[in-house]
Amino acid sequence: MFRDGFFHAEMHPGNILVTPEGPLRRARFRHHGTLTEVDKQYLAQNFLGFFQRDYARVARAHLEAGWVPSDTRMDEFEGAIRAYASRSSTGR
């Protein structure tokens, strides 16, 4: 995804096959897309932010990508992301 900008959006075990040669092969091609360099940067910032528990970074990435209005209170948005991440990590 990050190298070629192509992704398969329905990656569950029923949609991938392991060949005798070893590589994974997609079994269905219905749900796929491409990413721009801007999209890849946005996703990378989000992944890194979540992995490092840097929720301010996640909030900034959303703002810079235009996914939230420019007048969004970043402290409140960061708090909402933090609350969501903490609920998700506990399985709730």
In this structure, the answer to whether residues 6 and 23 fall within a common structural domain is yes
pLDDT at 62: 95
**Residue pLDDT, tens place only, 21-65:** 766 665 556 777 899 999 999 999 999 999 999 999 999 999 999
Range with the lowest mean pLDDT among 17-21, 23-27, 62-66, 68-72? 23-27
| Residue 20 burial (C-beta neighbours within 10 Å; 0-12, 13-18, 19+) | exposed
pLDDT at 58: 97
In this structure, the answer to whether residues 21 and 2 fall within a common structural domain is yes
pLDDT at 70 over 90: yes
In this structure, the answer to whether residues 63 and 51 fall within a common structural domain is yes
Cα dihedral sign, 45-46-50-55: positive
The amino acid occupying position 81 is I
Q: Are strands 24-26 and 32-34 parallel, antiparallel or unpaired?
A: unpaired
